[in-house]
Structure formats: C-alpha cells, structure tokens
C-alpha cells in the first residue's frame, strides 16, 4: 500500500511539473503571445467617400482575419473581409465605399475594424482588436479663385499671387512648382484670402506654379498661376585658376574649414571649398530664409534696396562660373547667387528696408553674414562683412548701418555680396533695386487685389 501511495505521489509531481511547464511554455512562447494586433488608419476624422482609407495591421504572430464594415444609421456594408491566415508581420488593406454606392445622405459614417491574429492564446482563438471610428463625410472640393497676380516672371526673378480659398474643413494651402519647391501662402487682408511671393530659380529652365487647396477629407482644388515667362540669359564665365590663388586664398581657407581637414591636394581643396563648403553654407541660408509668418499681412510696400552708398557692381547675379587649371577643363563649377558691390574699403552697409535680423554669424565662404527678414517671405543677406553691428533678434531700422564691407570668407577684394531671397530661393537683386519693377510687379498687384476684395 505504501508503494502505491509513493507511485501516486510521483505521478502527481510529474503531472504538476507538466502543467507548470505547459503554463510556462504558454507564458513565454511566441505562439501564445497575448498582445492585440496594432492597427493604424490613414484618416483625419473626415472622408470624401472616394479615396481609399489605408489600414495597416501589425502583429508578431501574423494575421488570421480582418474585417472592415461601413455603417450609417440605416445601412451597413462589409467592404473588406479577409479570412486567409498570413504569417506576415504587417498587412495593409484599402477600405473603399461599397460597390455602386457613390454618395451617402448621412453626414457621417461609422467605420468598424476587426482584426484577429494567429496567436494560440485564448483557447487558440487568438487576440482580437476591435474599433469603431466616426468619419465626417465631406465630398465638396475647396473653393479656390486667383484674385490678382504679377503679369510675368523672369528667369531668376520673383512674382506675386493673391487668391481666395474657402472650405469648412480646409487643411492645407500651398503653391507647388514644376521643380519641387513649395511656396507657403500668408493670410492676406481678410479671412479667406492669401498671398505669396514666388520665385523662378536661375538653374531651372522653365517655371510653373499651381495653387493647391486641400481639405481634411482629401478633396483637392488646383489653380495654375497665369504667369507669362520671360527668359533671361545669365553670364557663363570660364575662369583659369592660378597657382597664386591656390597657394594663397585657397590654402588659407583650407586650414580653417573642417571639410578640407587632411586634404593636401590643392585642386581637391578648391573643389571641396567651391562645392561642398558652398553647399553646406547655402543649406544654412536656405533654412533660415524659408520661413513665412502665419500672421495676416495687410501692407507690403518695400523701398528699393541700395545697401552700399556709391556701390559699383563688380560681379553679376546668376553668373555660372566654370573653372579650369593648366589645360584641365571644368575642374569645378558654381553659380554666383548674389550681386557683388564695391565702394571704399570697409564701406558702410545700410538697411534699405526695416526688418528682423534672423542670422548674424560667420558662415563659411560667405564670411561674416547678417540676414534680415523683411516679411512676406522676403530676405536680404550681406556677405564678406568686416564688422557687423547687429545681432540675431535685433530689429534693423530703415537706413540703419548694419555692417561694413570686408574680406571675410571667400573674398579676394573688399566688397559686399548682396543677396535677395524669396522663401529660400535666391532671386535677382536688380529687381528689388528697381522702383518701377517693384511697383509694376508687386505693389500695384497688391493695390489691385485690395480694391477687388473691398468690393466683395
């Protein structure tokens, strides 16, 4: 009898061990994971009842089934039903309206999502995620109308557009171009009206810009800005590098810049400075000058820019410089993205228009560089300065001396590199130095738009 009792005890211990082992296995085995599938949807609380809603389902054990249902107070449709188990960790589904149904009378619909994974947890039933999302139905496109715009735009130049945009669920307004740049419009004068400067980069052979209004439901309206394009031929300069230049200015800069550390070859030093350092410096400039205020703008009447008294032009804007050395052609090339002006050594540089100083630091080849924000996405920069009299955050007044010309950075003689940018795009300074151009292409357009808006 004692032996039987001992055998029973041993069997009990074995069974207990098996149970504990099974529980432990279920607790730690990936096959018995207990997390619900993770579901993300591409929606913003609105739906145009046309574009697909993308539903992404992630789960470690894969997906056993997926179901999506659209319901109104009176009807219900199963629009996606997938019951084929998949071992993929991530699955994506497109939810579309039921076939044959293009419109619904209801102001909103309920999207029901149900996803079950391949886990053996829950008596082999798996983990199930359920969610119901209310989506406001909006099938109307935004209203969009161009009120006024510049008649033309010149290659390397700027223009203005003023337009009206209305939508109860407006999400974004932007101006798309053929070269990938997006210009941001600023609220103008009254609610529902917007304005923006646009720019045609020197490097682009053609130009087009389209105002795009999009609402939260995905409805979109586009209006092309009717600008007449005027080409402008910029100078191409073939420059022979000299040993004196390579052993002088380039060697001097190569000892300063991090990008040329450890590089001894003179031509390679020049290439790095002319291309890599330049690109790094221009990236800083473009980031600083790409910002646009969200505040409503009612006035924009810039004076012509004359930053250097008696300044004479010594280098053109948009000049495409191609360098060679002792028979080696096209060693490097670059575009000169400003207008070089010179007067006297350490000549006084003055602000022709007021604005906020948004940058005032040394910036590589540009040397000591103050940048002023004049509002409406318009910026000016002043390169190679010797002394700078303003700091970031200062407000420069019209006529205030902000710096002195100099030799800092990649400069061979005392001068000012004067640049004008529209939302991060360099444009022809000559336009903004011309009273007639400013009136014909900017301020008269604003006046015309104001008159039209006030009549409504």
Note the pTM of the prediction, 2 decimals: 0.86
pLDDT digits (tens, 9 = 90+) for 341-400: 999 999 999 999 999 999 999 999 999 999 999 999 999 999 999 999 999 999 999 999
Question: How far apart, in Å, do the first and last CA atoms of the chain sit?
Answer: 107
Is the Cβ–Cβ distance between 402 and 371 less than 8 Å? Answer: no
pLDDT of residue 426: 98
> DSSP letters along 61-98, please?
T-EEEEEEEEE-SS-EEEEEEE-S-B--SEEEEEE-PP
The CATH class, in words, for 273-427 is: mainly beta
Is the Cβ–Cβ distance between 273 and 410 less than 8 Å? Answer: yes
Edge-to-edge strand list for the sheet holding 182-183 = 182-183, 170-177, 209-215, 220-224
Comparing C-alpha atoms, which of 299, 382, 369 is closest to residue 340?
382
pLDDT digits (tens, 9 = 90+) for 5-44: 556 665 555 554 444 444 444 444 566 788 899 999 988 8
Q: What pairs with residue 56 in β-bridges?
A: 40, 92
Q: Provide the b/e sequence for 27-54 (b: ≥16 CB within 10 Å).
A: eeeeebbeebbebebebeebbbbeeebe
pLDDT at 249 over 70: yes
pLDDT at 1 over 70: no
Q: Which CATH architecture has domain 33-137?
A: Sandwich (2.60)
pLDDT of residue 43: 85
Domain boundaries, the chain: 1-32, 33-137, 143-231, 273-427
Whole-angstrom Cα distance, residue 386 to residue 249?
17
pLDDT of residue 30: 60
- Predicted confidence band at 151 (pLDDT cuts at 50, 70, 90)? very high
Q: CA dihedral in degrees (430, 342, 405, 339; nearest 10)?
A: 30
Alpha-carbon Rg of the chain, whole angstroms? 33
Is the Cβ–Cβ distance between 225 and 233 less than 8 Å? Answer: no
Same fold, 143-231 and 273-427: no
pLDDT digits (tens, 9 = 90+) for 177-211: 999 999 999 999 999 999 999 999 999 999 999 99
Whole-angstrom Cα distance, residue 52 to residue 44?
13
pLDDT of residue 10: 55
pLDDT of residue 20: 44
Residue 117 DSSP SS3? strand
For residue 33, give both structure tokens. Answer: 């994971």
Q: Which CATH architecture has domain 143-231?
A: Sandwich (2.60)
């Amino acid at each position: 009898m004692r032996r039987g009792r001992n055998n029973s005890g041993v069997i009990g211990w074995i069974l207990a061990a098996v149970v504990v082992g099974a529980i432990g296995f279920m607790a730690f085995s990936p096959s018995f994971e207990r997390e619900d599938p993770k579901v993300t949807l591409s929606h913003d609380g609105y739906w145009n009842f046309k574009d697909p809603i993308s539903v992404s389902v992630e789960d470690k054990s894969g997906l056993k089934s997926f179901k999506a249902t659209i319901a109104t107070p009176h009807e219900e449709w199963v629009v996606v039903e997938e019951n084929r188990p998949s071992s993929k960790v991530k699955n994506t589904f497109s939810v579309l309206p039921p076939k044959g149904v293009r419109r619904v009378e209801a102001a909103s619909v309920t999207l029901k999502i149900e996803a079950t994974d391949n886990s053996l947890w829950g008596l082999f039933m798996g983990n199930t995620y359920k969610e119901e999302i209310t989506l406001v139905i909006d099938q109307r496109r935004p209203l969009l109308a161009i009120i006024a715009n510049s008649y033309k735009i010149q290659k390397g130049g700027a223009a203005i557009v003023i337009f009206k945009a209305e939508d109860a669920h407006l999400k974004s307004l932007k101006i798309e171009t053929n070269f990938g740049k997006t210009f941001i419009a600023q609220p103008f004068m009254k609610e529902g009206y917007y304005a923006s400067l646009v720019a045609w980069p020197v490097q682009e052979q053609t130009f087009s810009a389209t105002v795009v209004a999009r609402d939260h439901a995905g409805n979109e309206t586009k209006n092309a800005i009717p600008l007449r394009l005027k080409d402008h031929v910029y100078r191409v300069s073939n420059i022979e590098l000299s040993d004196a230049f390579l052993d002088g200015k380039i060697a001097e800069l190569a000892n300063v810049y991090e990008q040329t550390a450890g590089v001894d070859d003179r031509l390679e030093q020049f290439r790095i400075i002319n291309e890599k350092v330049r690109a790094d410096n221009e990236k800083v400039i473009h980031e600083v000058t790409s910002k646009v205020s969200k505040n409503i703008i009612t006035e924009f009447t810039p004076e012509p820019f004359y930053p250097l008294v008696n300044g004479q032009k010594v280098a053109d804007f948009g000049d495409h410089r191609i360098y060679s050395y002792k028979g080696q052609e096209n060693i490097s090339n670059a575009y000169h993205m400003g207008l070089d002006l010179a007067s006297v050594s350490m000549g006084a540089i003055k602000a022709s228009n007021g604005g906020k100083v948004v940058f005032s630091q040394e910036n590589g080849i540009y040397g000591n560089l103050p940048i002023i924000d004049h509002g409406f996405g318009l910026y000016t920069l002043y390169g190679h300065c010797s002394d700078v009299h303003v700091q970031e955050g200062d407000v420069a007044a019209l006529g205030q001396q902000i710096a002195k010309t100099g030799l800092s950075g990649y400069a061979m003689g005392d001068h000012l590199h004067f640049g004008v940018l529209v939302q991060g795009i360099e444009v022809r300074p000559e336009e903004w130095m011309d009273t007639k151009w400013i009136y014909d292409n900017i301020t008269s357009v604003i006046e015309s738009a104001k008159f039209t808006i006030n009549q409504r």
